[in-house]
């Protein structure tokens, strides 16, 4: 059944995608503002609700999400990318889906929903940092092309079977574009999404966001249950240290209210939580950090010393845990951090 999204649903939807960001994915404020002028209400189609042959694209902002809060994207950031993809593939896109169903990118396709049918499926189901971690690439769906802005109106189009090349070439283009750019993946159909994508991200985000807002006055201890997750602990951030071997990894020490030592391991998302040295949760489980007092959903860089936080684990999207070769791509060891994969 297609779902109709009212403008009033936007805050809850944004909150839900923030929760799915696992501490990454970027803040949704900018997209919420961009969508104020959208052609509300918008329709979200389930994968089964569209013709499987419909050519589809996925859109997202990539690079520094922090940068996007300072350097505001243009009015139609994806137009040139979609045009390039359509020129290359020779077909007009009929549908759009999120590339990353979390953070600000959960809302990104809504900017295109006026002219393309919005499909409720995405390639991550949570926030992940790398383009070679797209479900479409992991399942090696053939014929895909990736288009990326390289700054000053330039466009880079990559067609390859090696997902790692997409990641490194797009990274290069993003650096050229100044740190953040739009990315569009094309060359697949709605039918490909049936098997090779995480479904019902909008449904999940809306449910989570609504439950989160409804629990605004409820005690923290109840919040995890209402979100369908489990409470990992609450406490005060005591230290934030960079990992000695990897400048992009950080370890956040939280002194739990019950005296335990909680240790968060994070890159651009929170990847694992240890309680007194034993693993409590790890990627692809979604680890949410919430400011205990303001109930703000925190990004990794918001975990600053002396902040009191609550840690909640939400179940991983089932798509990732279905097969070992999929799981292998998103456990902490896929991020170069050993010893933290759930047994």
Partner 1 sequence: MSQTIDLSALLAHPANGGLRPVAAADPATVWHDVVVASGESGLPADGAGGADADLAILTTEPPSAPWQQDALIRRIRDRGYLALAMPNADLFGVGSRVLAERVGLALLHVDDPMALAKACWLLLEGRDALTLGYVRRVAQSIEYHAVGLADLLRHLSASVGHGIALIDAEGVLLQSGGTLPAAVHAAIDFGPWLDTVTVDDGSAASVHVDSPSRAGLRLAFFGTGLNAVQLTALAVAAEVAMPAVAARILIDEVADVNDAAVAADLLRDFLEQRDTRDAEREQRMLDRGWRTAGYHLGFRIVGRTRVDTFQLLRFVTRELAAVPADSHVVTSGRGVTGWLSFAAPPAPSQVDGAVSALRSLHTAARRSFNVATGVGSVESGSAGLATTIDGAADAARIAVSRSATGWFVRIDALGLEQLLLSWTENDTFVPAAQSLLGPLISRAPELLETLTSYLDHESGIAATADALHLHRNTVSTRIARAQDLLGLDLSDPETRLAVHLACRAVRQSAGSSTSSTSANPRGATP
Site residues, partner 1 (CB under 8 A) = 238-239, 241, 243-245, 249, 251, 253, 255, 259-261, 263, 265, 272, 274, 276-279, 337, 339-340
Q: How far is the CB of 269 from partner 1 (least distance, A)?
A: 15
Q: How far is the CB of 233 from partner 1 (least distance, A)?
A: 14
Half-sphere exposure of 35 (CA within 13 A, CB side): 28
User: Looking at beta carbons only, is 228 or 336 nearer to partner 1?
Assistant: 336
Query: What one-character-per-residue DSSP string does 134-190 give?
Result: -HHHHTT-TT-EEEEEEETTEEEEE--S-HHHHHHHHHHHHHHHTSEEEEEEEEEEH
Answer whether 158's CB lies under 8 Å from 148's CB. yes
What 84-91 contacts at long range (C-beta under 8 Å, 24+ apart), as own/partner pairs, is 84/147, 84/155, 84/157, 85/57, 85/145, 85/147, 85/157, 85/184, 85/186, 85/187, 86/186, 88/145, 88/147, 88/157, 88/159, 88/186, 88/187, 89/55, 89/145, 89/186, 89/187, 91/55
Q: How far is the CB of 301 from partner 1 (least distance, A)?
A: 18
Q: How far is the CB of 282 from partner 1 (least distance, A)?
A: 10
Both tokens of 56, joined, read 């589809």
User: Looking at beta carbons only, is 175 or 251 nearer to partner 1?
Assistant: 251
User: Looking at beta carbons only, is 172 or 339 nearer to partner 1?
Assistant: 339
User: Looking at beta carbons only, is 9 or 285 nearer to partner 1?
Assistant: 285
Q: What are the backbone dihedrals phi and psi of residue 116, each rounded to the nearest 5 degrees, phi first?
A: -125, 150
């Amino acid at each position: 059944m297609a779902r109709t999204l009212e403008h009033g649903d936007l805050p809850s939807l944004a909150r839900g995608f923030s929760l799915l960001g696992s501490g990454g994915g970027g803040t949704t404020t900018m997209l919420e503002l961009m969508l104020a002028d959208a052609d509300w209400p918008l329709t979200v189609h389930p994968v089964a609700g569209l013709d499987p042959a419909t050519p589809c694209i996925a859109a997202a902002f990539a690079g520094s999400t922090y940068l996007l809060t300072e350097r505001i994207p243009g009015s139609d950031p994806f137009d040139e990318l979609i045009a390039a993809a359509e020129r290359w593939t020779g077909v007009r896109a009929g549908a759009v889906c999120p590339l990353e169903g979390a953070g600000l990118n959960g809302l990104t396709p809504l900017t295109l929903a006026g002219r393309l049918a919005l499909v409720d499926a995405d390639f991550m189901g949570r926030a992940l940092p790398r383009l070679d971690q797209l479900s479409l690439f992991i399942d090696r769906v053939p014929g895909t092309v990736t288009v990326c802005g390289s700054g000053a109106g330039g466009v880079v189009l990559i067609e390859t079977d090696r997902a790692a090349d997409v990641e490194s070439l797009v990274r290069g283009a993003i650096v050229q574009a100044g740190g953040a750019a739009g990315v569009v993946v094309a060359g697949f159909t709605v039918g490909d999404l049936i098997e090779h994508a995480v479904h019902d991200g909008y449904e999940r985000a809306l449910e989570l966001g609504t439950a989160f807002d409804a629990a605004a006055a409820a005690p923290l201890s109840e919040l995890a249950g209402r979100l369908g997750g489990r409470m990992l602990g609450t406490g005060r951030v005591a230290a934030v240290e960079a990992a000695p071997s990897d400048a992009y990894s950080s370890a956040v020490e939280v002194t739990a209210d019950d005296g335990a030592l909680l240790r968060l391991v994070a890159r651009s998302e929170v990847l694992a939580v240890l309680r007194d040295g034993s693993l409590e949760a790890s990627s692809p489980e979604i680890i949410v950090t919430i400011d205990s007092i303001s109930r703000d959903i925190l990004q990794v860089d918001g975990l600053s010393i002396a902040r009191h936080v609550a840690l909640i684990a939400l179940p991983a999207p089932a798509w990732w845990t279905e097969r070992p070769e999929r799981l292998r791509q998103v456990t902490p060891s896929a991020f170069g951090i050993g010893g933290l994969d759930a047994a």
